[in-house]
Homo-oligomer: A and B are copies of this chain.
Amino acid sequence: MNTAKTLDAKSPIPLYYQLKEILLAKIEEGEWKNGTLIPTENELIQHYQVSRTTVREAVNSLVAEGKLEKKQGRGTMVRKPKIEPVLGRLMGFTERISMLGFEPGARLIEARVVQSSETIKEKLQGEADVYFVKRVRLADDEPISIEETYWPLKIGKLYEGEDLNEIAFYPVLEKLGYKLSHAEEVISSVVASKEQAQQLNIKSGMPLLRIHRTTYTAAGEAIQYCCNYYRSDRYSYKVHLER
C-alpha cells in the first residue's frame, strides 16, 4: 500500500504540482476507481506531509479539469467519464455513426482527380487539381447521406490502394501522423434532386440537410473540403450553445 511516491521539497517543481501528478496517475491507472472516494484532505496531508493549502491546490486543479468532484461533508470522488462531449467534436461519419450505435458503411460512387472549381480552390488554399471521392454512406445498411469529399492531391495519394467502400478517412490520416485540429461547417437545407433521391432511396423533393465542411490540420492547413447531404428523416444535427 505504501508504495506511494514522496514529494521532493527541494525540486523546483511546486509541491502541489507534484502531488497533482501523483493523484492524476492514481486516477488514470485505475488505482482509484471511477465513483469511489479518494483519501480525505487530512489523510493526504498526513501521507505526503504537506499543508492543507497544498493538498487543496492539487485537488482543486483536478476538480477544475473534471477529473475529481468534491462534495462538502462527503468527500472527493473520482469522476465517472463524462457522457462524451460529443457535440462540437470533429468526427468523421464512421466515428459519429458508430457512437450513435449503428453500423457504419459506404458505397463508392466515384473517385478520381478533378480540376478545382473556384469554390474548391478557395477552400483548399489554391490547389489546381484535387482528389474527389463520392460515396453513399450507410448506417445499418440503410443510406443516410451522400458524401462528396475533395482532398489535396498529396492526401488523395494516401487513399490509393485503400478500399473506398470500407475506409474511414480521418483514422487513416491520423495513423499517418496528420494532426486534425478543427473544422468549420456551414449548414443549409436543400431538396433532393432526382439522382440524390435515388441514391438515398427516398423521393425526390424531400428535404436534405446539406453540410459543407472545411477541415484544418494543427498547422492551419486546409486538408479537406466536403459536402454532405443527409436524409433529414434519418439524421438531425445537434448543437450546444453557451451564453
A contact set with B: CB distance below 8 Å: 53, 64, 88-91, 179-191, 205-210, 230, 232, 236-243
Contacts and interface: CB of A to CB of B under 8 A. Distances in A.
A243 B90 contact: yes
Contacts of A241: 88-91, 182-185
Contacts of A181: 242-243
Contact of A237 (B182, B187, B236): B187
A90 B242 contact: yes
A160 B240 CA distance: 30
A240 B88 contact: yes
A10 to B, nearest CB: 21
Given A90-B241, A240-B88, A209 B185 contact: no
Shortest 5 CB-CB contacts between residues of A and residues of B:
A189-B207, A189-B232, A90-B241, A189-B189, A187-B237
A3 to B, nearest CB: 30
* Chain A residues touching B, majority SS: strand
Given A90-B241, A188-B232, 12 more contacts: A88-B88, A90-B242, A180-B243, A181-B242, A181-B243, A182-B240, A184-B238, A185-B241, A186-B236, A187-B236, A189-B208, A191-B207
B236 A239 contact: no
Contacts of A191: 191, 205-207
A185 B238 contact: yes
23 contacts: A88-B242, A89-B241, A89-B242, A90-B241, A90-B242, A181-B242, A182-B240, A183-B243, A184-B240, A184-B241, A185-B238, A185-B241, A186-B236, A186-B238, A187-B237, A189-B189, A189-B208, A189-B210, A189-B232, A190-B207, A190-B232, A205-B205, A237-B239
B180 A209 contact: no
A209 B243 CA distance: 22
Contacts of A205: 191, 205
Contact of A243 (B182, B186, B210): B182
A180 B90 CA distance: 26
Contacts of A207: 188-191, 207-208
A178 to B, nearest CB: 11
A16 to B, nearest CB: 13
A145 to B, nearest CB: 12
